């Protein structure tokens, strides 16, 4: 049984978690599929990726609580490692990844969205890290990515309280980029992805890497990485063609 749907439209790939009856919770089988899909995306011709959940209720309600209720520390560590592998692959993919958050994005679902580059939310979206209400801490990168996006004070508030926040509050703290009516969410995400896909895939990919690496580097190191990456762009045929086309238009 497959849990991930893939749809391609031009240069854009839409990945849909298809466990609507379980609010698109991610069990080990879902994560195994993600690894395969992401490995394929590393080298295919697509230029942008959208991740969403099936149905109208949830992007993803997170990890599989039924499974977690039966395991001990060793199995929990393996589960966390698999979750980190998937989300690290998303973050490290050299093409932009947009989360279309269509409802609940809780726990691992919120962490999945955090690993994406851009987060668009439906007006009815609810996000949060409720792990402490279950006696655990976030385990798929929530304590680290959330603080880098919204700052330590807001991250601690959300993690310590376990509360859910709506799309408006999430946007006010920079957790989501834009809010759309639910019926238009995926269309808006597609339009954005297609606009990004028109740009140089090499330049977008190297820019993504610079921003990601720069969050953990001091300013001098970040600026040196930028100079090297800028110079590297001048070695590409695409840069020559795009600059020539721009001058031709003038």
Asked if residues 214 and 208 have their Cβ atoms less than 8 Å apart, the reply is no
Structural Rg of the chain based on CA atoms: 19
CA distance 244 to 250: 10
Neighbours of 246 (CB within 10 A): 9
CA distance 18 to 37: 14
Residue 241 is among the residues annotated as catalytic for this protein = no
3-state secondary structure of 91: helix
Q: What is the CB neighbour count within 10 angstroms for residue 156?
A: 14
Catalytic residue selected from 77, 111, 169, 238: 111
Measure CA of the first residue to CA of the last residue in the chain; give whole Å.
54
Q: Name the catalytic one among 7, 18, 131, 169.
A: 131
Annotate 12-45 with DSSP letters as a single string: EEEEEE--GGGTT-B-HHHHHHHHHHHHHHHHSS
Those residues with Cβ within 8 angstroms of residue 158's Cβ, 6 or more apart along the chain or in another chain: 128, 129, 146, 150, 165
| Pair 6, 51: CB distance under 8 Å | no
Q: Is 131 a catalytic residue?
A: yes
Catalytically active residues are: 111, 131
């Amino acid at each position: 049984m497959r849990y991930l749907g893939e749809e391609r439209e031009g240069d854009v790939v839409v990945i849909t978690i298809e466990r609507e009856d379980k609010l698109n919770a991610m069990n080990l089988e879902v994560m195994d599929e993600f690894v395969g899909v992401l490995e394929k995306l590393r080298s295919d011709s697509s230029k942008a990726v959208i991740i969403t959940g099936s149905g109208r209720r949830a992007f993803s309600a997170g990890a599989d609580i039924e499974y977690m209720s039966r395991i001990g520390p060793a199995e929990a560590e393996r589960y966390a490692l698999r979750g980190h592998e998937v989300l690290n692959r998303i973050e490290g993919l050299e093409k932009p990844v947009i989360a279309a958050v269509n409802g609940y994005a809780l726990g691992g679902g919120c962490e999945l969205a955090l690993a994406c580059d851009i987060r668009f939310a439906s007006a009815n979206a609810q996000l949060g890290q409720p792990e402490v209400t279950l006696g655990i801490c976030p385990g798929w990168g929530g304590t680290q990515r959330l603080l880098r996006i919204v700052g330590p004070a807001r991250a601690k508030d959300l993690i310590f309280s376990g509360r859910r926040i709506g799309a408006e509050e999430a946007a006010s703290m920079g957790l989501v980029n834009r809010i759309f009516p639910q019926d238009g969410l995926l269309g808006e995400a597609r339009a954005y992805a297609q606009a990004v896909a028109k740009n140089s895939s090499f330049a977008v990919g190297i820019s993504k890497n610079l921003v990601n690496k720069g969050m953990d580097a001091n300013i001098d190191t970040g600026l040196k990485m930028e100079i090297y990456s800028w110079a590297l762009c001048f070695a590409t045929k695409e840069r020559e063609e795009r600059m020539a086309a721009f001058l031709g238009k003038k």
